Amino acid sequence: MHKLYDFMEARERLATIAVKTKLIHSSVYSQETGNDVYIKPENLQRTGSFKLRGAYNKISKLTEEEKACGVIAASAGNHAQGVALAAQRLGIKAVIVMPRHTPLIKVEATRQYGAEVVLAGEVYDEAYEKACELQEKHGYVFVHPFDDEDVIEGQGTIALEILEELPNADIILVPIGGGGLISGVAAAAKLKNPQVKIIGVEPEGAASAKAAVAEGKPVNLPSVSTIADGAAVKLIGTRDLEYIQTYVDEIVTVSDYELMEAFLLLAEKHKIIGENAGLLSVAGLKKLRVRGKTVVSILSGGNIDVLTIASMITKGLVVRGRIFTFAVNLSDKPGQLVAVSEILAEQNANVIKLEHNQFKNLDRFHEVELVVTVETNGEDHIKKITAAMADRGYTIHRISSNEFNEHD
């Protein structure tokens, strides 16, 4: 395991390529959590994520013979871009194996940095197997995205920057995918200030770190399911687990819907765009059980395509109670639609979508179903609309986030 001076030397190595991202105070999350919250915006890092730090640190330490062989990596996107840019800067050939369903923005960005991209497998682990096969065949040097001491060392430079800018930080929240980021950050932070608490945050549907800690060894999850594609890792790194066991105080998980809410809040209140995996620690802020602490959340990346942004905003609005979709059965007679519209107008609910379906109900000769989507100002506003409808004899069924796409 690393010493503090290892991380300090890595910071010097990265001085010519990595951006020292400045902390951003979050008044909205400070208010919602009862803590003094800051965001470390690594989405503003070169290549759009923290991954450049570990990749460049690793590749810059290779021998001349190793550099001549070229490098290969497996990645869901961000590590790919970090390796590609680092290799380009150092004049080294780079081959990147990415899962077939990696967002297009990440694939194209990797190619633009001069790397050769190979698409293989459905998830990271399958892409990793293909990369190992190519490494053995061509003799490339493998740059692992998280289970590598030099990569861990590079990621730890984030903690040095945080504690230099905010020495009184009580808690640092860190996203967990494979474990490289939290390994480096936790080790560097604890070596610099043993009192700081490190909390890891991973997706509910890909909680490989939590499973590994519980079992005391890496656990290969049978499957993963999360919108945080960059953290969809079935098996955490062996080295990373050792760092987590040594330096990490707690691991929490967040749902996809909590990620959607975090995306909306950041975009609306801070004008910051974060990718799903990068938002893990931001969503994790609401899992804190303490108040009055100085907290830093590492927003680890912002590489997200426009179509995903649109979807995240819409779903985030639903989760936050800013969009309310409901179904109501109406008598099949004239004037019912007008009556519902009048109630909504009285409650200052702006209708943005309406579906009138005479064939949805079994008893369609007596009733029809109306599905309405309105703009609202939160849960209190929704409760008032629901009560007003009930007062007029209408029982409504709220369309949940799960059902939203079915009616979209």
Name the active-site residue from 26, 49, 208, 300: 300
Query: Active-site residue 225, yes or no?
Result: no
Query: Active-site residue 300, yes or no?
Result: yes
Nearest Cα neighbor of 105 from 274, 272, 275, 305 is 305
Distances (CA, A) of 5 to 12, 197, 241, 350: 11, 21, 22, 59
Rounded distance between C-alpha atoms, residue 98 and residue 81, angstroms: 11
3-state secondary structure the chain: CCCHHHHHHHHHHCCCCCCCCCCEECHHHHHHHCCEEEEEEHHHCHHHECHHHHHHHHHHCCCHHHHHHCEEEECCCHHHHHHHHHHHHHCCCEEEEECCCCCHHHHHHHHHCCCEEEECCCCHHHHHHHHHHHHHHHCCEECCCCCCHHHHHHHCHHHHHHHHHCCCCCEEEEECCCCHHHHHHHHHHHHHCCCCEEEEEEEHHHCHHHHHHHHCCCCCCCCCCCCCHHHCCCCCCHHHHHHHHHHCCEEEEECHHHHHHHHHHHHHHHCCCCCCCCCHHHHHHHHCCCCCCEEEEEECECCCCHHHHHHHHHHHHHHCCCEEEEEEEEECCCCHHHHHHHHHHHCCCEEEEEEEECCCCCCCCCEEEEEEEEECCCHHHHHHHHHHHHHCCCCEEECCHHHHHHHC
Cβ pair 166, 38 in contact under 8 A: yes
User: Cα torsion at 143, 147, 149, 150 (round to 10°)?
Assistant: 30
Neighbours of 147 (CB within 10 A): 19
Name the active-site residue from 40, 51, 106, 234: 51
Residues serving a catalytic function are: 51, 300
